[in-house]
Structure 1
Amino acid sequence: MIRALLILALTAVSALAQGYTRSNEQPPLFPREFRAAWVACVYNIDWPSRPGLSASAQQAELLRILNEAQALNLNAIIFQVRPNADALYKSSIEPWSHWLSGTMGRSPGYDPLAYCIQQAHARGIEVHAWFNPFRALPNKDIPTARNHVMRTNKGDIRPYKQYRWLDPASSFTRNRALSVILDVVKRYDIDGIHIDDYFYPYPTVVNGRPNPEFPDGKTPAQRRAYVDSFVQSMYSSVKQTKPWVRVGISPFGIWRPGHPAGIEAGIDAYEHLAGDSRKWLQKGWCDYLSPQLYWRISPRKQSYTALLAWWRSQGSRPVWPGIATARINSSEDPGRKAAEIVNQVNYSRTIGKNWVGHVHWSMKSLMQNRGGISKDLKKSAYLAPALVPPMPWLSKSTPSLPSISATLQGNTTLVRWQPVRDASKYAVQARYGKDWHSISVTYASGINLKGSPDAIAVSSVDRFGNTSQPFVISKSRRR
């Protein structure tokens, strides 16, 4: 009993002796990099593993994904919420996705997007809601709900191969896609919205021409004008609703064959998909572009590094390439090793002059640690957390400083601060001895640190990614 009381007394004395006071010390800048992965729901590629799982089983699978993203020090997931004119969230516009329950229109018993946002933010991870704007069905044989566009707007649907496509030339198509995007922006605390490369469906190309032609009687130039109009309207509408919500687009990785010189492609995305993605980057109709650079660093004809250098020279907004982590040890690309992906991550940090970042296709390959990739990334490329880069073209204001305090309890330091009104999250650093460490990005108003750091710094981060100066406290010893 006496020994226990003595230990308690010594602990209390230690806490007093190692109290913290405000310091003028300046820690190094917190790392900045967009580190994301796509989480695809179509065909149950990433999540859920199969349709018809219970709500608790789906949630458990999603938590495993988010826990691994946190362990990897990723700071965003791109979560598919509209695979084919359906919804993975509670919508009054479109039916529940059959990839959830197995039956289109049947509720999974909870709201997956709301749950994803809650759990991702609890782990310091952003959620970018991913929409397919024009795909009605990936397979014509999928049974549809009564309120699906296949039943309500048959005149706006075009058959193409196995697909059913919402015709981008139709004002209904463009307005419907925009309405569902804005509905999510308004009702959910998302950090970004994201559309992919399915503007018009991928054709088979024979002698340079698509076969078959998309059945709309329009020229490639007319189709580009419809898609351009949608992209421009989408960007301006999102910014009018919530200006801090990032708008991302992930087009086919080659704008046109021959750009840059020596680049080859069977698909001309500009002509065949109506995707003038270079224009969108140059016009500032997105906050980041993630061209799908799924090829190796060599040979030159589809070189990852040559393409990334070209893309990053086309505009002032960030280009955060899509990287095909899923092709490690795959039949699609035999012999691809994890080292190729690690090298591509490292090159994404050195090419060009804009804010750096990249996106993994897809989360499943990271969950599987395919070819040892997750282990390698943790060991070499993702050693510390990173903040998502800011958007200075939208805002350069800085949030207020947090006022922090720290208390030592046993072998843990409890760091707390009052929430800052104009901040959404906080970047935490700590110095042990001479070395500063980037510890965490958190949406919470406190964190527990191991041991007793010699100094602690916390910066506020607003919704645009701007940071305050750090509020720093350092250890002071009583005489």
Structure 2
Amino acid sequence: MTSKPTFMSQTGSQLVASLLLIAALANNAYCQQSKSETPAPRREFRAAWIATVANIDWPSKPGLSTREQKEELLSLIERAAELNLNAIVFQVRPHCDALYASELEPWSEYLTGTQGKAPEPFYDPLEMAIEECHRRGIELHAWFNPYRASHPSGKSELSDSHISKTVPEAVREYGKHLWLDPGDKSAARHSLEVILDVVRRYDVDGIHFDDYFYPYPISDKEGKPVDFPDDASWQAAQAAGEKLSRNDWRRQNVDQFIAQVGQEIKKVKPWVKYGISPFGIWRPGHPKSVVGFDAYEKLYADSLKWFREGSVDYLTPQLYWRMNSSGQSYPRLLNWWHEQNEQGRHLWPGQYTSKLFAGGSARWPAEEIVAQVWATRAQEGASGNVHFSMKALARNSGGIADVLKAGPYHEPALVPASPWLAPSSEALATPVVSVKQDGELAAISLSSDGGQLPWQWALAAKYGEHWQIDVLPGHEKSTQIPTTLTRHGVTYSLESVALSAVDRLGQQSDYSTTNFPFP
């Protein structure tokens, strides 16, 4: 195994230059595979969050017509497809509300401006997002906030069906928020049932939490810390014989919920991935010299435990710092998280791509985000990124969409396989490919013989010594490719076409190949 580069002692400019060199070498190695061996597509998770809380990404404001909402959502999904993203993380429960048809929680006010009011004419945003993503071969991960019950951006009165009205004893007021008490058993049961309801009724590819567990701490007017008001549940736990300290008990509440959600998801649909995006630093000093917020102590979030025990299928630590940040270096933190991955789960760090449109000196250049993508590729055990948020990519802030598409996202990629998830009892489809040459284009027929229907196709076309790789949705029955390819002034003719089937877990069949001369 070749040794991995180290970035720890380099300056920012040296680091970016090193990463660009590594990227060029990696791309060259990727493209220059054996001339006789059909190459597999790159495996890389490329995702973006679509945040609905406070209308961050979608819809652009409450009260838009159904037509306007659909147009905006479709535009974001089409942009993701243009950039060769292969997953969207779509926020469906900002704070005990729903951006889908639910009998358990009210419609979100971020749609219509009134909590509990359905879109008119009616449509289901989650159902639409799944359908449009899958049509383009993009995974849809449903993003839930498990404990937040209201947000300061909310202007609507809370619906009569909101949990603060139906189960008020499970809800606590903390600063400008309402919060489900993680120590209240009825609150945990409610959130679990909300999540499982979506898993049962919708064809989601993943369930996703972000970094909100116990709330971020606040202070009073005198600057004194305000403790989370869970005296009732804490006293009940003590009366029932709880021996842990209050802080450890709080962590246990979250740990038990995290584990139970994962277990119950797999009972319903074993192939659905379960991921969490915690604060990027587990604790200050891990690794050494890292400073910052202590999520373990303040949010009672033991993300290291979840990762080490394999409670999640993927971890997306929010590494929202620059490459050369002295106290929170992106590559240093990424490498540390890799070292904790004892169960071999996916490590897909989150990036603060929205820093590209921050004001003044807080703004980052697009090169920073691209360097982080290259750093992730260079890091053993990391296989993708999630961008916060889709707005930056849709706006092409700082030219980020252009440089990603011209660089690391130039070709499509498959989501990395999850071999620990339960596979289908059906065998992978046997791909069948045929080619009909017609002037400057070759018509490719895509089909399968037996087995389960493919989730995606991997298509490889050989021109001389060069391979062109594409990834297509499994419902596609045909496509067209050029019969020639020009590289560095030399034109090569199409020599062979190979087709492979890919299932929902990312497992790939053998290639079926047809060679020149074509009919």
Q: CA deviation at 1:422?
A: 5.2
Q: What is the distance in 2 between the residues matched to 1:226 and 1:102? A: 34
Query: TM-score w.r.t. structure 2 length?
Result: 0.83
1:234–1:477 CA distance, 2 compared to 1 (3 A): closer
1:469–1:355 CA distance, 2 compared to 1 (3 A): farther
Tell me the residue number matched to 1:17: none
Query: Given residue 246 of structure 1, which amino acid in structure 2 is its aligned partner?
Result: K
Q: CA deviation at 1:406?
A: 2.8
Q: What is the distance in 1 between the residues matched to 2:480 and 2:518? A: 19
Contact 1:185-1:242 within 8 A present in 2 as well: yes
Tell me the residue number matched to 1:348: 376
- Which of the pair has the greater relative contact order for Cα pairs under 8 Å at 6+ separation? 1
Contact 2:459-2:499 within 8 A present in 1 as well: yes
Which of residues 96, 104, 116 is equivalent to 1:85? Answer: 96
Q: What is the distance in 1 between the residues matched to 2:219 and 2:327? A: 18
**SS state at 1:88 partner:** coil
Per-residue displacement from partner, 1:130-179 (whole Å, max 9, x unpaired)?
A: 00000100127641111111111111110111000011111111111111
1:399 and 2:418 are equivalent in the alignment: no
Tell me the residue number matched to 1:3: none
**SS state at 2:63 partner:** coil
Contact 1:251-1:292 within 8 A present in 2 as well: yes
1:106 and 2:134 are equivalent in the alignment: no
Q: What is the distance in 2 between the residues matched to 1:332 and 1:43? A: 23
**SS state at 2:470 partner:** strand
Query: Given residue 513 of structure 2, which amino acid in structure 1 is its aligned partner?
Result: V
Tell me the residue number matched to 1:461: 502
Length, aligned pairs only: 451
After the TM superposition, which residues 406-421 of structure 1 pair with which residues of structure 2 at under 5 Å, given as runs?
A: 406-409=435-438, 411-419=440-448, 420-421=451-452
Q: What is the distance in 1 between the residues matched to 2:422 and 2:303? A: 24
Tell me the residue number matched to 2:269: 242
After the TM superposition, which residues 178-197 of structure 1 pair with which residues of structure 2 at under 5 Å, given as runs?
A: 178-197=192-211
Contact 1:320-1:358 within 8 A present in 2 as well: yes
After the TM superposition, which residues 198-217 of structure 1 pair with which residues of structure 2 at under 5 Å, given as runs?
A: 198-204=212-218, 211-217=225-231
After the TM superposition, which residues 250-265 of structure 1 pair with which residues of structure 2 at under 5 Å, given as runs?
A: 250-265=277-292
Which of residues 341, 346, 351 is equivalent to 1:318? Answer: 346
**SS state at 2:347 partner:** coil
Tell me the residue number matched to 2:305: 279
**SS state at 1:458 partner:** strand
Q: What is the distance in 1 between the residues matched to 2:363 and 2:140? A: 33
1:428 and 2:459 are equivalent in the alignment: yes
Tell me the residue number matched to 2:32: none
Q: What is the distance in 1 between the residues matched to 2:166 and 2:322? A: 44
Q: CA deviation at 1:404?
A: 2.1
1:339 and 2:353 are equivalent in the alignment: no
Q: What is the distance in 1 between the residues matched to 2:355 and 2:224? A: 26
**SS state at 1:404 partner:** strand
Q: What is the distance in 2 between the residues matched to 1:56 and 1:240? A: 37
Q: CA deviation at 1:210?
A: 7.8
Per-residue displacement from partner, 1:178-213 (whole Å, max 9, x unpaired)?
A: 11111111111111110111101111479xx98111
Tell me the residue number matched to 1:449: 480
Q: What is the distance in 1 between the residues matched to 2:382 and 2:227? A: 39
Question: Which stretch of structure 1 is more off in the superposition, 424-433 or 354-363?
Answer: 424-433
Q: CA deviation at 1:417?
A: 3.0
1:210–1:274 CA distance, 2 compared to 1 (3 A): farther
Q: Which runs of 5+ in 2 are unaligned?
A: 1-34, 235-245, 484-493
Contact 1:412-1:448 within 8 A present in 2 as well: no
Contact 1:297-1:303 within 8 A present in 2 as well: yes
| CA RMSD of superposed structures (Å) | 2.0
Q: CA deviation at 1:445?
A: 3.3
Contact 1:31-1:387 within 8 A present in 2 as well: yes
Q: CA deviation at 1:403?
A: 1.5
Identity %: 45
Tell me the residue number matched to 2:61: 50
Query: TM-score w.r.t. structure 1 length?
Result: 0.90
Which of residues 301, 322, 334 is equivalent to 1:296? Answer: 322
